[in-house]
Amino acid sequence: MQLGALSRLALALARAVSALRGRLDALCWSLAPLSLSLLLSLPLPGWRRVSAPGPSAAAGHRRQREQEQERDGAAPTPTSVNYHFTRQCNYKCGFCFHTAKTSFVLPLEEAKRGLAMLKAAGMQKINFSGGEPFLQDRGEFVGKLVQFCKRDLKLPSVSIVSNGSMIREWWFKKYGEYLDILAISCDSFDEEVNVLIGRGQGKKNHVENLHKLRQWCRDYAVAFKINSVINRFNVEEDMNEQIKALNPVRWKVFQCLLIEGENCGEDGLRDAEKFLISDDDFERFLDRHKDVSCLVPESNQKMRDSYLILDEYMRFLNCTNGRKEPSKSILDVGVEAAIQFSGFDEKMFLKRGGKYVWSKTDMKLDW
């Protein structure tokens, strides 16, 4: 066969493959989940494969636990996933356990591909976090992900955790209909305490902004949630009146947690030791607020291994040994292979109430 004929044949084949891949979106939702997962692992035209750094060497007992899990049966289902797509933040909270160690953010289409793979593997809820999610493209990036997950993937629940400082009303107008829950981090209703913690931002008042965001959630039918980290500087505070006035659907109360390499240790970017409280101190805080009906407490024991955490490279982070050990990226090896190294405690996830009424259509709230 002459060179010209070969060239024409190669061009025809390339066009055929491109056309076939271009029809993937129309075909994939009618396929079985396994077939979908395999198809979505193929790079599409114009999508760049991003190689994540490989995982560090695991401790011996961690590998033993993984081998036991493999013998016990199938990988856990990624029912609820926390995707920390950025580590960058405009606040400097002293106890932060997901710090700005990189500035990397996946290209939008690669992130969407990974989210579709998670949906095919059984994901029902996605929570976008950081860092500060609204820093990337002034909220457009997370808005497009929220829209994709609700409109295209049709996930039952899509949520965001934010410090709230970068959110503007235009965002609710454009993307609010696709968001089920907005969780705002607020550790104190005393602005001086917020400054001590690292949530101060010049003349901006964190608490005043919290009330503005609460009203926008009412106006645009988004369920409002508050997250608080209880630490040395707020453990004696009485928040009953303020929380009841804001009336969130959930008030998640965390005990300050140390993660080596993040907020403690030689390679950590924070020193959270001075923020630590005892288990008894945490229990006293909970007892003081026991009449708040939306209170959802999480001690260190409940929190450590009961979250599926996906980092900026879409690697699951295993916190079993007190630091974040990454799996390989789901974009490289698939969800089932990566999740085997997540250290996820599915029983603790259910025990701590990780599965709840998380779709705003089922909450029947009086907006």
Residues designated as active site: 89, 93, 96
Distances (CA, A) of 21 to 25, 27, 56, 333: 8, 10, 35, 20
Coil/strand/helix, residue 328: strand
Burial of 4: CB neighbours in 10 Å, binned 0-12, 13-18, 19+: exposed
Per-residue burial over 79-113, b if 16 or more Cβ lie within 10 Å, else e, is bbbbbbbbbbbebebbbbbbbeeeeebbebebbbb
Among residues 182, 178, 110, the alpha carbon closest in space to that of 147 is found at 178
- DSSP letters spanning 50-72: -PPPPPPPPPHHHHHHHHHHHHH
Separation CA 63–CA 160 (nearest Å): 33
Among residues 25, 24, 29, 223, the alpha carbon closest in space to that of 119 is found at 29
